[in-house]
Amino acid sequence: MLDSTSGFQRPVYQLAQISQNIAVRMSPRSWIGLRFCFGRGNRPMRALPKARLTTLAITAFVVALRMGSGSAWDRTATLWNALDEIGLSTRDMQSVATGRPVAKLLQTDEAQEIAVFGSVRIDVPADSFVERFRDIARFESGPNVKQIGTFSQPPRLEDVKALRFPPEDLRALSRCEIGDCAVKVPAAVIASVQREAGRVSETSARTEALLKGMLVTLVTAYRTHGNRALAELRDQERPLRPGQVLEGMLQKESPLLNNQPELREYLLAYPVTRLRGAEEFFYWSLVDFGMKPTLRVNHVTIYQPSPGRGIRYAIASKQLYASHYFDAALELKLLVDDPESADPNRVYLLVVNRARIGGLTGFRGFLIRPSTRRRTRDALDRYLRATKTRLERAWEGEK
């Protein structure tokens, strides 16, 4: 039998000690509750079943955290602070603490926005995770990713040479008018396709060449002028300005990003504002979500916050373009230290995905929004499970 502070119980006892440190300003009644859970003074805890011990520790920590004085993140409490900010239940926190993935829908104040949070413990070093993530084509590979590639810096047409647009998109573009198009593209692309109409044998090839040129131009302009350079899309009567939508999303309160002000400013003011030590890359992917295959272009930033905050890496992905569905999208991944272990080969992955999706307002939106939210949550849950399994197997093979 384990003694009171060894094996599994030791890290939980350490969590209780963290709770006590945070709870110095708690009311006497709350403090009595903590002492009841974890013992008094230096007296060891009674040996409790593993599941109950974890629940008690996490419950006491969250009570202490919510009644404590500060919100600043530090290495010993970063994970629990983040989970508390998200609003996870004690049961979900227990799942996270024991290594099981959790995916949770978040409330938003925009009807067309869907936000989801996920977390899972991965038994690999943070550096190994990031090294594999840099090879984005391999990292994102899966049955839903039909094509993927990266852009050079500066971007070149050769970067999209292998890209093949869905035939249905090419046919739809041949019938497009400004304000009425089944593909999200700028007015200039629609006008160019219209000029080429009639040359039936060459229309698809010319349209595809126009689209590839559009992608290269978009990334080039964004690298020079930032969000305001993202092209206005004219598939609907009301123009869509993705740069403005992104800036609006970044200026709002956002879980995990709230405590990364330097990263938020970088994403807002890129490329004027630079982030010391950050690296970036751009990639395109053709993803099948079960409806129309969607072409997306993303700007990825990998950043190491200052030491002592418990965050090994922050990885931000900003959508610059999507051919269907998405008006704008932001993803933030944090690789966070395990507060219960000094094992360097263990990290917690925290993810927040936020997306503005057209068609989620009005009566039609009322009908499809619940199922869209559920599918988004379930997709993140599958992603967490697959990522954990794949990376842990790869790491075991490298030992």
pLDDT of residue 48 exceeding 90, the answer is: no
Q: Tokens at residue 280, please?
A: 């970036």
Choice between 15 and 56, residue whose per-residue pLDDT is larger: 56
Closest to 228 in 3D by CA, of 191, 266, 264, 268: 268
What is the pLDDT at residue 266?
Answer: 97
What is the pLDDT at residue 307?
Answer: 80
Would residue 249 be called left, alpha or beta, if left means φ above 0 and alpha means ψ between -120 and 50 degrees? alpha
What is the pLDDT at residue 74?
Answer: 55
CATH of 103-398, one of 3.60.150.10, 3.30.530.20, 3.90.1560.10, 3.20.10.10: 3.30.530.20
> 113-122 and 145-150 as β-strands: parallel, antiparallel, unpaired?
unpaired
- For the chain, give every domain's residue range: 9-76, 103-398
Binned at pLDDT 50, 70 and 90, residue 34 comes out as very low
Let me know: does 116 contact 106? Beta carbons within 8 Å.
yes
Q: For tokens 């936000």, what's the residue?
A: 115
Own/partner long-range contacts of 201-210 (Cβ < 8 Å, ≥24 apart)? 203/170, 203/174, 204/167, 204/170, 207/165, 207/170, 207/173, 207/174, 208/164, 208/165, 208/170
338-364 per-position pLDDT tens digit? 887 888 899 999 999 999 998 766 666
Query: CA-to-CA distance for 178 and 239, rounded, in angstroms?
Result: 10
Q: Tokens at residue 22, please?
A: 């945070």
Query: CA-to-CA distance for 196 and 227, rounded, in angstroms?
Result: 30
**Phi, psi values for residue 304, rounded to 5°:** -105, 110
Question: How many residues are listed for the chain in this entry?
Answer: 399
pLDDT of residue 59 exceeding 80, the answer is: no
DSSP letter, residue 233: B
Query: CA-to-CA distance for 122 and 352, rounded, in angstroms?
Result: 17
Choice between 374 and 26, residue whose per-residue pLDDT is larger: 374
Beta strand segments in the chain, E: 102-106, 113-122, 145-150, 279-288, 293-303, 311-322, 326-336, 347-357
pLDDT of residue 78 exceeding 80, the answer is: yes
pLDDT of residue 275 exceeding 60, the answer is: yes
176 vs 193, 231, 329, 367, 377, CA distance in Å? 8, 17, 25, 28, 34
Average pLDDT over residues 281-287: 97
Q: Which residues pair with 279 in a beta bridge?
A: 302
Q: Tokens at residue 73, please?
A: 């993140």
pLDDT of residue 28 exceeding 60, the answer is: no
pLDDT of residue 31 exceeding 50, the answer is: no
Q: Which residues of 132-155 are buried (b: 16+ CB within 10 A; e: fewer)?
A: bbeebeebbeeeeeebbbbbeeeb
Q: What percent of the chain has pLDDT over 90?
A: 57
What is the pLDDT at residue 134?
Answer: 97
Closest to 103 in 3D by CA, of 350, 302, 336: 350
239-267 per-position pLDDT tens digit? 999 999 999 999 998 888 988 999 999 99
Bond into 307 cis (ω within 30): no
Let me know: does 82 contact 73? Beta carbons within 8 Å.
yes
SS3 category, 242: helix
Binned at pLDDT 50, 70 and 90, residue 62 comes out as low
Q: What percent of the chain has pLDDT over 70?
A: 77
Binned at pLDDT 50, 70 and 90, residue 90 comes out as confident
Average pLDDT over residues 284-302: 93
270 vs 153, 280, 285, CA distance in Å? 15, 11, 22
pTM, rounded to two decimals? 0.82
Task: Rank 72-76, 85-89, 194-198, 265-269 by mean pLDDT and report only the highest.
Answer: 265-269
What is the pLDDT at residue 152?
Answer: 97
DSSP letter, residue 46: P
Choice between 331 and 141, residue whose per-residue pLDDT is larger: 331
User: Mean pLDDT across the chain, nearest whole number?
Assistant: 82
pLDDT of residue 42 exceeding 80, the answer is: no
Choice between 232 and 26, residue whose per-residue pLDDT is larger: 232
Average pLDDT over residues 123-146: 94
Let me know: does 111 contact 361? Beta carbons within 8 Å.
yes
Query: CA-to-CA distance for 265 and 252, rounded, in angstroms?
Result: 12
Query: CA-to-CA distance for 86 and 107, rounded, in angstroms?
Result: 10
What is the pLDDT at residue 176?
Answer: 93
